[in-house]
């Protein structure tokens, strides 16, 4: 096809439309951040006026019915200072924080259809792709080693077959799921209950930086917002909203995880749960979910089937926990094989392993450290070793 | 008439000679003492006068002047009662002056003329020997500690009149026999065979002692951390004569010696409670005295519940650990106390103590983090090894297994110490823990394969330069226990298990 350069007039028109778009973005940003009004009321206002520009230019009398208190109205009106808004907006862009709103191109369409959708979102990195399947992997923050290892396993294996992994970038299960996805270079997005420039919890700092580069960080809160408990239920509806299915790895009987599950059900998402031992406090929530009709997951395949996804590159969990893949890949010394066979998913103290293996302590230490470097074993706490799945 | 006699005082853990001069002349009856005296020395005048009278000596009222020289050294302690009274008696003509030549006297007097024991006799006697003074009169209770110095004539005396009788040769006292140092089998009540199971802890402890590496135990209450620490002196090689003298001097200054025994023959084990004050730990006071770290010299300093120690107290130990001695400066001078010890510390892994046993541990992640934040990073830098300890299970606790006793372990460690001493002589250090980093490569004698492994470990465990050096030092000790001239891969692999970097990993509970 022949390339026809744009005429000057066309160029100008394009520039103009871009400017209009930019102006629109900026007004949406204002509306999202304006004080004195809840999200629901803003939504009502939007339904009435159609677009933020009209709200921006509306008179005080016109806006009065939306406010119950006068001082809130005053706050709202005084925020309509174009110069100030522009300054903070540009400042934010400079920091690499993007803003998107419900009518923008980059706004995830799956979030438009949830009940009570957000007006605007802040994000860093990339937004999830619409074509790919997305799985939310969630669970408690104080998880067991079994839980964290499973979260990492499912995060990794699902990312490997092309799933996008969404979670809350919290301590425990969330972080491990992200880590798993990053291990194989998959896309993963964290939805925060604070501003996208606030790292909470601090121990996830490295993960946060990595995800900003190769995945995404998303939040409805203003940049700089510190986390507080009220923000987390709102963020949970975004996690479930972004996902096609929700996998609960480990949850106590009464856990914040169920807020996400409830919202997921409301949004019509598939719920998956990992079974645990019935005496295990940390698995009781999952087992209850299964009892109530959630899909029970014992293999990655279980998830793929429900979500109508086919992949040939699938590894069986059983094979991996037996360590066959690892043993196949690495040529181990006899002692190392014995030590490896004594390990479990749960961490064990060095003395227990020495006892089981019936080998001299120094030999066991050597074997364990070698296996750690090879990647088959992980030292969870000093001198406690566990199988890496 | 004028007379003079030798006595001694302490400066830190070293002795000093003091000359006591007495002069009796006509004039108003006064008793003056001069020579930069501390108040306890000044009080001697009353004690001496009364003790002399009660011992049956007539002191006619005359002008008495006592001078303690050199005048620029502050005289402290209770060494001078006895020498002052003897000098006075000589000045009054009770004792001929010739009798006092080349004789050193120390001792405190009670009012009835009895001679009381004093602390710090050994350093003075040691110094006297260096100054070629052979005859020393000491209180009876101190005769044993004084007799550990060879080629000396030590006279233990019980009363003032006994001293006079001895000096006049009317009733001479036999000199105390020199008690030669015997490398006796130090008899400890505790033994390593009492520790059941705990293979990791036994092995790590053996390595730590073999290279004198400082070690940190992490574990729940009741796992046996203190039990092992207490038994570490039992597997250390027996004290040599020189080491024993060093320790005995410190204990002598602090008045901690047994009056019936000369030498300190057991390696010290000091376990100060965590309420210890900085002065008690490091040494100090108006007249500086050795603290716990010096009392642990050539032995073990055990800090149980490391995190409970106030941070400032812990930080104060940093420099002494590095230098092997502590310098305490006061207006009247600075004092140097030796403190080469093995530091053993124990702590719980979380506030409740049970992490990572999640069936018991009720701490949340942030709680544990806050708890561990109390650990001082510079202090961790001084530790070379760390291991976790877990509680025993029933089989281990009540099983029939016979564990190695201290004697067997001690033999292996003694050999390792000997090897190290020989190898490290050119570098001016004695143990592997002290190998200077620039000498490390040469001492470890790594092959190509080992160097490759070192790189791999450096990257895998994200070691710092310091952390890597520590691993190599520990590997050197493991190789020594293995009778290997060079450090091999297997030694490095094992050393990694005891590394100090990332002491606390967040990997989830059981």
User: What is the nearest CA distance from B506 to chain A, expressed in angstroms?
Assistant: 6
User: What is the nearest CA distance from A164 to chain B, expressed in angstroms?
Assistant: 25
Q: Which residues of B touch A (CB under 8 A)?
A: 197-200, 202-203, 218, 349, 355-356, 358, 364-366, 369, 386-388, 390, 456-457, 460, 478, 490, 493-494, 496-497, 503-510
When pLDDT is averaged across residues B247-272 and rounded to a whole number, the result is 87
Q: Which of A351, A360, A378 to mutate to test the interface with B (most CBs of B within 10 A)?
A: A351
The domains found in chain A, sorted by start residue, are 8-94 (no CATH), 134-315 (3.40.50.450), 319-387 (1.10.10.10)
Q: Model confidence over A9-36: pLDDT tens digits?
A: 777 776 776 676 777 888 899 999 888 8
pLDDT bucket at A325, cuts 50 / 70 / 90: confident
User: What is the nearest CA distance from B187 to chain A, expressed in angstroms?
Assistant: 29
- Both tokens of A34, joined, read 């304006």
Name every residue whose Cβ is closer than 8 Å to that of residue A189 and which is 6 or more positions away in sequence.
A125, A127, A128, A164, A165, A166, A211, A215, A216, A217, A218, A242
List B116's β-bridge partners, or say none.
Answer: B108
Touching check for A144 and chain B: CB below 8 Å? yes
Touching check for A281 and chain B: CB below 8 Å? no
User: What is the nearest CA distance from A329 to chain B, expressed in angstroms?
Assistant: 19
Rg of chain B over Cα atoms, rounded to whole angstroms, equals 28
- Both tokens of A215, joined, read 């995945």
**Residue B505 in this model has a pLDDT that exceeds 60:** no
CA angle A208, A212, A214 (to 5 degrees): 115
pLDDT at B509: 52
B388: region left, alpha or beta (phi > 0 left; psi from -120 to 50 alpha)? beta
When pLDDT is averaged across residues A66-85 and rounded to a whole number, the result is 87
**Residue B159 in this model has a pLDDT that exceeds 90:** yes
Distance, CA of A13 to CA of B18 (rounded, Å): 105
- Both tokens of B438, joined, read 């620039």
User: What is the nearest CA distance from B298 to chain A, expressed in angstroms?
Assistant: 28
Distance, CA of B420 to CA of B444 (rounded, Å): 12
Cβ contact B215:B384 at 8 Å: yes
pLDDT at B508: 52
Q: Please name the helix (run of DSSP H) or strand (run of DSSP E) that holds residue B225, with its range, or none.
A: helix B225-235
User: What is the nearest CA distance from B495 to chain A, expressed in angstroms?
Assistant: 8
Nearest to A289 by CA among A276, A298, A300: A276
Touching check for A373 and chain B: CB below 8 Å? yes
Please name the member of B457, B497, B508 whose beta carbon is closest to the beta carbon of A145: B508
Burial A97-106 (b: 16+ CB within 10 A, else e): bbbbbbeeee
When pLDDT is averaged across residues A131-142 and rounded to a whole number, the result is 92
Beta-carbon separation of B507 and A369 below 8 A:
no
The domains found in chain B, sorted by start residue, are 2-167 (3.30.230.10), 192-416 (3.40.50.300), 435-500 (1.10.8)
Q: Model confidence over B459-498: pLDDT tens digits?
A: 888 888 888 899 999 999 999 999 999 999 999 999 998 9
What 3-state class would DSSP assign to B12? coil
pLDDT at B186: 58
pLDDT at A322: 64
User: What is the nearest CA distance from A370 to chain B, expressed in angstroms?
Assistant: 7
What 3-state class would DSSP assign to B381? helix
User: Which residue in chain A is spatially nearest to B364 when comparing CA positions?
Assistant: A142
Please name the member of B203, B460, B503 whose beta carbon is closest to the beta carbon of A362: B203
User: Which residue in chain B is spatially nearest to A372 when comparing CA positions?
Assistant: B460
- Please give the share of chain B, as a percent, with pLDDT higher than 90: 50
Distance, CA of A173 to CA of B324 (rounded, Å): 48
Q: Please name the helix (run of DSSP H) or strand (run of DSSP E) that holds residue B345, with its range, or none.
A: strand B342-347
pLDDT at A387: 87
What 3-state class would DSSP assign to B459? helix
Beta-carbon separation of B198 and A351 below 8 A:
yes
Cβ contact B154:B139 at 8 Å: no
Reported as half-sphere exposure (CB side, CA atoms, 13 A), residue B415 has a value of 13
Nearest to A160 by CA among A136, A180, A137: A180
User: Which residue in chain A is spatially nearest to B493 when comparing CA positions?
Assistant: A366
CA angle A316, A139, B353 (to 5 degrees): 105
User: What is the nearest CA distance from A177 to chain B, expressed in angstroms?
Assistant: 14
Beta-carbon separation of A362 and B490 below 8 A:
yes
Q: Per mean pLDDT, which range of A338-352, B184-198, B394-408, B437-451 is the poorest?
A: B184-198
User: Which residue in chain B is spatially nearest to A143 when comparing CA positions?
Assistant: B508
Which residues in chain B are contacts of A382 at CB distance < 8 A? 218, 386-388, 503-505
Q: Model confidence over B84-126: pLDDT tens digits?
A: 999 999 999 999 998 888 999 999 999 999 999 999 899 999 9
Touching check for A370 and chain B: CB below 8 Å? yes
Distance, CA of B259 to CA of A373 (rounded, Å): 58
Q: Which of A206, A362, A368, A371 to mutate to test the interface with B (most CBs of B within 10 A)?
A: A362
Which residues in chain B are contacts of A344 at CB distance < 8 A? none
Q: HEC states along chain A?
A: CCCCCCCHHHHHHHHHHHHHHHHHHHHHHHHHHCCCCCHHHHHHHHHHHCCHHHHHHCCHHHHHHHCCCHHHHHHHHHCCCHHHHHHHHHHHHHCCCEEEECCCCCCCHHHHCCCCCCCEEEEEECCCCCCCCEEEEECCCCCEHHHHHHHHHHHHHHHHCCCEEEECCCCCHHHHHHHHHHHCCCCEEEEECCCCCCCCCHHHHHHHHHHHHHCEEEECCCCCCCCCCCHHHHHHHHHHHHCCEEEECCCCCCCCHHHHHHHHHHCCCEEEECCCCCCCHHHHHHHHHHHCCCEECCCHHHHHHHCCCCCCCCCCHHHHHCCHHHHHHCCCCHHHHHHHHCCCCCCEEHHHHHHHHCCCHHHHHHHHHHHHHHCCEEEEECCEEEECC
Q: Model confidence over A201-229: pLDDT tens digits?
A: 888 888 999 999 999 999 999 999 999 98
pLDDT at A3: 56
User: What is the nearest CA distance from B123 to chain A, expressed in angstroms?
Assistant: 45
pTM score over 0.90: no
CA-based end-to-end distance of chain A: 53
List B33's β-bridge partners, or say none.
Answer: B66
Please name the member of B199, B457, B507 whose beta carbon is closest to the beta carbon of A381: B507
Distance, CA of A322 to CA of A341 (rounded, Å): 9
User: Which residue in chain A is spatially nearest to B367 when comparing CA positions?
Assistant: A142
Count of pairs with CB atoms under 8 A, one residue in A, one in B: 98
Distance, CA of A39 to CA of A58 (rounded, Å): 19
pLDDT at A1: 46
Tokens 């025994």, residue located: B261
Which residues in chain B are contacts of A372 at CB distance < 8 A? 460
Q: What is the DSSP letter of B114?
A: B
Residues 169-208 of A with CB under 8 A from B: 171, 201, 203
What 3-state class would DSSP assign to B172? coil
Beta-carbon separation of B387 and A351 below 8 A:
no
């Amino acid at each position: 096809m022949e390339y026809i350069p744009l005429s000057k007039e066309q160029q100008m028109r394009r520039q103009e439309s871009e400017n209009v778009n930019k102006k629109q973005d900026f007004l949406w940003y204002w509306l999202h951040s304006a004080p004195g009004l809840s999200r629901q009321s803003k939504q009502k206002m939007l339904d009435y006026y159609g677009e933020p520009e009209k709200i921006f230019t509306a008179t005080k009398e016109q806006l009065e019915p939306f406010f119950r208190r006068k001082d809130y109205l005053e706050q709202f009106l005084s925020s309509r200072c174009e110069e100030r808004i522009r300054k903070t907006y540009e400042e934010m862009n400079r920091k690499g924080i993007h803003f998107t709103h419900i009518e923008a191109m980059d706004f995830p369409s799956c979030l438009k259809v949830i009940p009570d959708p957000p007006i605007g979102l802040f994000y860093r990195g990339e937004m999830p792709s619409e074509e790919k399947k997305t799985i939310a992997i969630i669970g408690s923050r104080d998880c067991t080693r079994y839980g964290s290892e499973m979260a990492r396993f499912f995060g990794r294996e699902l990312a490997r077959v092309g799933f996008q992994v969404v979670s809350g970038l919290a301590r425990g299960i969330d972080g491990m799921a992200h880590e798993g996805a990053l291990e194989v270079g998959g896309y993963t997005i964290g939805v925060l209950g604070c501003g996208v420039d606030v790292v909470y919890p601090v121990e996830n700092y490295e993960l946060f930086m990595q995800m900003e580069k190769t995945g995404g960080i998303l939040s409805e809160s203003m940049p700089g917002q510190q986390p507080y408990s009220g923000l987390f239920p709102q963020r949970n509806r975004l996690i479930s909203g972004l996902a096609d299915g929700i996998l609960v790895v480990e949850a106590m009987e009464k856990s914040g995880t169920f807020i996400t599950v409830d919202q997921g059900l409301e949004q019509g998402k598939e719920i998956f749960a990992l079974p645990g031992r019935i005496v295990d406090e940390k698995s009781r929530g999952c087992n209850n979910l299964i009892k109530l009709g959630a899909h029970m997951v014992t293999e990655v395949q279980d998830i793929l089937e429900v979500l109508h996804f086919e992949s040939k590159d699938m590894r069986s969990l059983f094979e991996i926990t037996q360590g066959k893949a690892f043993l196949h890949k690495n040529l181990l010394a006899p002692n190392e094989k014995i030590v490896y066979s004594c390990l479990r998913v749960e961490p064990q103290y060095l003395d227990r392993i020495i006892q089981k293996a019936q080998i001299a302590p120094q030999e066991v230490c050597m074997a364990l450290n070698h296996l750690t470097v090879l990647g088959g074993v992980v030292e969870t706490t000093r001198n406690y070793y566990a199988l890496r799945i | 008439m004028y007379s003079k006699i030798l006595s001694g005082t302490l400066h830190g853990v070293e002795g000093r000679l003091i000359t006591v001069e007495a002069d009796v002349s006509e004039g108003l009856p006064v008793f003056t003492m001069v020579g930069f005296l501390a108040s306890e020395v000044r009080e001697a005048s009353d004690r001496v006068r009364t003790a002399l009278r009660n011992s049956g000596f007539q002191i006619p009222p005359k002008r008495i002047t006592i001078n303690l020289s050199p005048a620029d050294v502050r005289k402290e302690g209770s060494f001078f009662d006895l020498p002052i009274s003897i000098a006075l008696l000589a000045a009054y003509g009770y004792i001929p002056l010739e009798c006092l030549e080349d004789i050193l006297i120390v001792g405190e007097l009670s009012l009835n003329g009895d001679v009381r024991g004093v602390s710090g006799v050994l350093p003075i006697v040691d110094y006297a020997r260096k100054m070629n003074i052979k005859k020393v009169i000491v209180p009876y209770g101190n005769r044993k500690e004084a007799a550990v110095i060879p080629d000396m004539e030590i006279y233990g005396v019980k009363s003032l009149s006994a001293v006079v009788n001895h000096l006049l040769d009317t009733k001479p006292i036999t000199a105390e026999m020199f008690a030669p140092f015997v490398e006796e089998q130090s008899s400890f009540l505790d033994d390593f065979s009492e520790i059941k199971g705990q293979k990791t802890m036994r092995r790590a402890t053996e390595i730590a002692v073999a290279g004198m590496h400082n070690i940190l135990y992490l574990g729940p209450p009741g796992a046996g951390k203190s039990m092992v620490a207490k038994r570490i002196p039992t597997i250390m090689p027996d004290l040599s004569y020189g080491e024993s003298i060093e320790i005995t001097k410190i204990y002598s200054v602090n008045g901690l010696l047994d009056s019936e025994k000369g030498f300190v023959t057991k390696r010290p084990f000091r376990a100060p409670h965590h309420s210890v004050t900085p002065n008690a730990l490091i040494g100090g006071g108006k007249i500086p005295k050795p603290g716990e770290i010096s009392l642990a010299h050539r032995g073990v300093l055990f800090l149980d519940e490391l995190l409970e120690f106030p941070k400032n107290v812990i930080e104060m130990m940093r420099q002494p650990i590095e230098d092997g001695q502590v310098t305490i400066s006061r207006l009247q001078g600075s004092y140097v106390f030796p403190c080469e010890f093995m530091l053993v510390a124990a702590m719980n892994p979380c506030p409740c103590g049970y992490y990572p046993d999640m069936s018991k541990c009720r701490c949340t992640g942030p709680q544990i983090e806050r708890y561990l934040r109390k650990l001082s990073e510079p202090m961790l830098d001084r530790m070379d090894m760390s291991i976790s300890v877990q509680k025993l299970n029933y089989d281990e606790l009540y099983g029939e297994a016979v564990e190695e006793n201290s004697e067997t372990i001690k033999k292996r460690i003694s050999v390792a110490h000997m090897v190290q001493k020989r190898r490290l002589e050119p570098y001016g250090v004695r143990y592997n823990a002290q190998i200077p980093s620039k000498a490390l490569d040469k001492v470890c004698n790594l092959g190509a394969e080992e160097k490759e492994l070192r790189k791999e470990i450096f990257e895998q465990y994200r070691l710092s330069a310091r952390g890597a050096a520590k691993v190599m030092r520990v590997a050197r000790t493991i190789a020594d226990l293995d009778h290997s001239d060079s450090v091999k891969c297997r030694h490095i692999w094992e050393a990694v298990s005891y590394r100090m970097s990332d002491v606390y990993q967040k990997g989830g509970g059981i």
